[in-house]
Amino acid sequence: MFGKKTKKHHNPYSPSQDRGEPDGGYEGDNRVEQGRTPIPNAHLSAHEDNNVQPDPKPKLTFHCQQAQGSPTGIISGFTNVKELYQKIAVCYDLKPSDILFCTLNTHKIDMKMLLGGQIGLDDFIFAHVKGQNKEIQLEKTQEALGLTITDNGAGIAFIKRIKDGSVISNCPHIKVGDHIEKLNGVELVGCRHFEVAKALKEIPKDSTFTIRLVEPLSSWADIGPRSNKTGSKSVKNGMKTLRFRANESAVIEDVDDKKMAAQDKINQLLENFMGINDEDLASQIYDLGITQSNTLDFAEAIDDSDLGAFGFTDDFIFELWGAITDVKSGRV
């Protein structure tokens, strides 16, 4: 339809690829504070010394806890999601692969508060680590299993949503937040969300399959929220956030409500068409499309970028373009 077929090639947008090295970077330590009151305000600090030239880049410092309970850690010196997980792992003497995902300002498994492509500069990070393994055998009685898959940007794909009335919803042992480790004995660690979603979709209807999951370590579920920032994203128009970009260092930018609304629509399309949810991917699509003047240019720009590896159909690209033009025309 757009005169250029989407190319099939190796996906460079993978968790094993470094998303950019810092140019000078943020300097800082990563340590645990004993007895720290939860949810303090994160802060910016710059090196000040009468005899030393100040660092042109601010030192970003975030506070962190393990979701199941731990002392408060001080995290800094990261420029992408993989580095963030490495810093948290060092702070708590873990392996980076032990961390399934992070939530912001709540210790609960709340997918609305999932750490995605950005962090508010005053956000408190909660790391959800690996807990119990479980292996479940199921029969695929419907064409779709009813799962929405996302990943943590560091090689761990997990369940973000379970559709009511679906095959999976009838299995109480499978829960939101579970990491999909293996499918029919095939290792899925290191796979992106769309690869896991594709593997699940390709399971033949009426066949039996075995899925191996790892659930997050139990958190303080019976304790009330340790922050009043729960249930909805805390970033608002005009606030500053640390934005993670694929293949680039993180940058500080102002929150734009219109852009966030467009990215939400794009993410919904990703979920409907591909069964995945990815704020970083939605942001990348938006940034690529907002500079294009028509659908054909947008399709070619996608085809010539890292996004060409996803093999988006023409119909899907048309839907994505509609979400972007809604912003351009002021309908969002």
Considering only residues 310 and 237, tell me which one the structure prediction assigns the higher pLDDT.
Answer: 310
Considering only residues 228 and 128, tell me which one the structure prediction assigns the higher pLDDT.
Answer: 128
Amino acid 259: pLDDT = 80
pLDDT at 297 exceeding the cut of 70 = yes
Q: Give first-to-last CA distance, the chain, whole Å.
A: 27
Q: Which of the residue ranges 47-51, 143-147, 176-180, 188-192 would you say has the lowest mean pLDDT?
A: 47-51
Whether the CA torsion 4, 8, 12, 16 is positive or negative: it is: positive
Query: CA Rg, the chain, in Å?
Result: 20
Gap between the Cα atoms of 47 and 167, Å rounded = 55
Domain boundaries, the chain: 31-129+219-254, 131-216, 257-328
Amino acid 44: pLDDT = 34
Instruction: For 58-100, give the DSSP string.
Output: PEEEEEEEETT---EEEEE--SSHHHHHHHHHHHTT--GGGEE
Tell me whether strands 157-162 and 72-76 are parallel, antiparallel or unpaired.
unpaired
* Residues whose CB falls within 8 Å of the CB of residue 231, separated by 6 or more in sequence, listed in order: 110, 112, 113
Output the six-digit token pair for 143.
């064409």
Gap between the Cα atoms of 149 and 167, Å rounded = 15
Amino acid 247: pLDDT = 58
pTM across the whole model: 0.67
**131-216: CATH number:** 2.30.42.10
Amino acid 128: pLDDT = 97
pLDDT at 15 exceeding the cut of 50 = no
Give residue 2's pLDDT band: very low, low, confident or very high (50, 70, 90). Answer: low
Q: How much is the average pLDDT of 117-131?
A: 91
Give residue 14's pLDDT band: very low, low, confident or very high (50, 70, 90). Answer: very low
Cβ–Cβ < 8 Å for 101, 41: no
Amino acid 18: pLDDT = 40
pLDDT at 208 exceeding the cut of 90 = yes
Amino acid 240: pLDDT = 66
Give residue 253's pLDDT band: very low, low, confident or very high (50, 70, 90). Answer: low
Q: Which of the residue ranges 162-166, 184-188, 304-308 would you say has the lowest mean pLDDT?
A: 304-308
Burial of 59 (0-12, 13-18, 19+ CB in 10 A): middle
Greatest mean pLDDT among 2-6, 203-207, 284-288: 203-207
Q: How much is the average pLDDT of 20-27?
A: 35
Amino acid 233: pLDDT = 47
pLDDT at 45 exceeding the cut of 50 = no
Q: Which of the residue ranges 51-65, 77-91, 253-267 would you say has the lowest mean pLDDT?
A: 51-65
CA nearest to 110, candidates 3, 2, 219, 237: 219
pLDDT at 314 exceeding the cut of 60 = yes
Amino acid 282: pLDDT = 87
